[in-house]
Each structure stands twice: as C-alpha cells, then as structure tokens.
Amino acid sequence: MKAKHIFQTAIAAAALLFGNDARAQDIHFSQFYLSPLTQNPALSGAQHDMRAVVNYKNQWQSIGSPYRTTGFSYDLGLNRKKGGKGFFAAGVNFFSDRAGDAKMGTAQGNLSLAYHVRMGGNSTLGGGLQAGFAQRSITGSALQWGNQYDGSMYNAALPSNEPGAANFSYLDLGGGVLWNYDNRSGSSMVTDNHELKATLGAAMFHVTEPDYSFYGTGEKLYRKLVVHGNALLSIPNSNVAFAPGFMYYRQGPAQEIYAGSLIRYTISQDSKYTGFKEGAAFSAGAFFRAKDALVISTLLEYSNYSLGLSYDVNVSSLQTASNSRGGLEIALRFVTPNPFQAGKGSRSSFN
C-alpha cells in the first residue's frame, strides 16, 4: 500500500471511528492576526470601522493530496460615534476545509454581534456572540481499508463495508470578550513613532457541544477555549516596531500554544496634505506552534491593503514523512480608515 494512502486512510479512519481525539482541533490559520472572527466574535468592529479579509491555506502537499482551507470575514462598527459611550458592531465569516483523498470537509458560516464600551480615550472593553451553521462531509470511495487486504495485497474489488459518502450538519454557538487599546484612537495627537496598541481576549466556541458523528453514535464536538493577545510596540524616533502575539487553544484533550513576533519597518507615511503619497510598511518574523511547527511570516502593508504570507515548517515527529514541509498560507486584508493616516483613529494590521 502506498505511504500516502496509509497516511490518509489512518487520518480518515481515526476521524470516523475514534473521533474523540482526531476531532479535537478546529481549523486554524497561522496568521491569526489576519483571521479575527475565527479567534473571537468580540473582535467584530473593535479595531476598524470596516475590515474584510480573505484567507487561504494549503498544507501537507509533500505527503499526499493537500489539505486546503479557505476563509472570508467581514466586520464593521455600526454606530461608532466620536465621544459616545459605546457602539455596536457586527461581522460575518465563512470557511471551507477540505482534507486529503477522502475529501473530508467542513463548511461553516457564522454571524457575529458585539458591543464595545469606551473605557477612556484610548481603550474599549467589548463582548460578542456568534451563531453559525456547519456541514461535515466525507467521501470514502478513494480510501483503502484493512478489510480489503486479501492476505497478500490490497484488493480494491473486496468490499470495505464502509459508507461511500456521508454528511451531517449542526448549529453552532460561541461568545467572547475583548479589551482593546490604541493610543491613536483618542482625541490627542500621537506621532507615528510612538504607537502603542494592544488587544487581549478570550472566547468559547461550540458551547452547546453539537453532535459530531458520521455514524450517529453520539459523539460531541468539544467546547473550544481561545485566549489570545497581540500588540504593536513602536521604538521612538525610528521606523521600527515590534508586533508580538500569542494564542492558546484548548479543545477536549488537545491544546495548542502559539507565540512569536514580527518586526515592522515603516517604509513611508501618508502625506498629510496632498494625499499623493501612500503609506507602506513591511514586517517579517516567526512564530512557534509548540511540538508542531515553526512559522515564518511576512506582511506587506500599503495604504488600506495588507498582504500576508507565511509558511509552516514542520518540526513534529511527522517531519520524517513531511520532510519538514508543512503549509503555505496567504491572507489579503482591506480596512478603513487608512492605517497610515496619523491622528485619525487608524489601526495597523496587528491591532
């Protein structure tokens, strides 16, 4: 039996028959700072007047049929008025994940609603709720099963006694809280090389633990706890800033610890009067996912747009099969207001 089929069959069989461990991890993007609503519904509208993000991840290409994940999110503040005590915000996000020869997939759409209270000129405290609908599917006809072994070799003519295709759907609920700080969001003017931004939040997903079995055997989708934070720390009198961040996932018996930093260099600032010169910045750095991967990341910001690229270098025990190759990830983001317009409540890609 080919190595890639062994690998993919093992994953599919584990998901179907021993789901309690294999299902413990939801989809995740390495550029978590560019996938806000998969982290916390309270991020809706907290950092930008309007934000739209497209994400794409391709992983395990070196082992067999790749695992592909695509996502889209859109969020905005609904009544953000200067001097108000707080404001509502809303968001919507979709993602689709397709895995291996079995085409084991998840497709989900969510709606989010949040409210943010202003705690002073520069910080807010908010809470958000999320409701969604998801569908899981699998096609087993491309897999090779142990009961198709005829004693000397694999025989595709033997029945597998497994369903050729299966799917199910469920409703999903989540919620979260978020503290956000931005020293350029208040009434005072702050020079560009004194930016200080930070977020800290926590969220719970799958709060009702929906049914999660292709066979109707009663398995539940574990609740997922997410704790996350990131910042932008500018070095005065320079064009350099540090953008550290972390996230922690806990879902059933599985957990993920992820931390690192980018270094950001401001190439140019928007012209304050003519509008002819567009602001730009470039960032590069690395994050580490404990016992799994080293993630090399870059980010290019130009005016209202951001393009993020990252690559997961596998460092787990799977690297023997993967040759340390994990996955490529691409993210494209558009926001308003322009993050390079000083003194207008603008926010960087990290906050």
In a domain, 345, yes or no: no
What share of the chain in percent tops pLDDT 90?
49
Please tell me the distance from the alpha carbon of residue 98 to that of residue 70, in angstroms, as a whole number. 9
Print the domain residue range for 193. Answer: 3-336
Q: Which two tokens stand for residue 16?
A: 């179907």
Please tell me the distance from the alpha carbon of residue 93 to that of residue 113, in angstroms, as a whole number. 12
Banded model confidence at residue 10, pLDDT cuts 50, 70, 90 = very low
Q: What angle do CA 98, 103, 105 make, to 5 degrees?
A: 45
Residue 76: count other Cβ atoms within 10 Å of its Cβ: 17
Q: Which residues pair with 314 in a beta bridge?
A: 293
The whole-number average pLDDT for the span 8-35 is 59
In a domain, 342, yes or no: no
Q: Is the dihedral of CA 304, 312, 106, 229 positive or negative?
A: negative
Q: What is the pLDDT of residue 43?
A: 97
What letter does residue 187 receive in the DSSP assignment?
S
In a domain, 348, yes or no: no
Model-level pTM?
0.81
Over the stretch 134-143, which tens digit does the pLDDT of each residue have? 998 877 666 6
Q: How many domains does the chain have?
A: 1
Query: Could you tell me if 202 and 225 are in contact, meaning their C-beta atoms sit under 8 angstroms apart?
Result: yes
Q: What is the CATH number of the domain that holds 66?
A: 2.40.160.40
The residue type found at 150 is D
Nearest to 32 by CA among 230, 216, 174: 230
Q: 255 Cβ partners below 8 Å, 6+ apart?
A: 248, 249
Beta strands in the chain (DSSP E): 50-59, 67-77, 86-99, 104-118, 123-139, 165-182, 196-205, 224-234, 240-251, 254-268, 280-289, 293-302, 305-314, 325-336
Please tell me the distance from the alpha carbon of residue 55 to that of residue 106, in angstroms, as a whole number. 15
Nearest to 330 by CA among 51, 28, 52, 58: 58
Please tell me the distance from the alpha carbon of residue 231 to that of residue 38, in angstroms, as a whole number. 18
Q: What is the pLDDT of residue 142?
A: 64
In a domain, 347, yes or no: no
Over the stretch 206-237, which tens digit does the pLDDT of each residue have? 999 998 877 777 788 999 999 999 999 999 88
Banded model confidence at residue 105, pLDDT cuts 50, 70, 90 = confident
Q: What is the pLDDT of residue 63?
A: 57
Reported as half-sphere exposure (CB side, CA atoms, 13 A), residue 221 has a value of 26
Banded model confidence at residue 279, pLDDT cuts 50, 70, 90 = confident
The whole-number average pLDDT for the span 45-54 is 94
Please tell me the distance from the alpha carbon of residue 265 to that of residue 193, in angstroms, as a whole number. 11
What letter does residue 223 receive in the DSSP assignment?
P
Whole-angstrom Cα Rg for the chain: 22
One DSSP character per residue, 160-177 reads: --S-SEEEEEEEEEEEEE
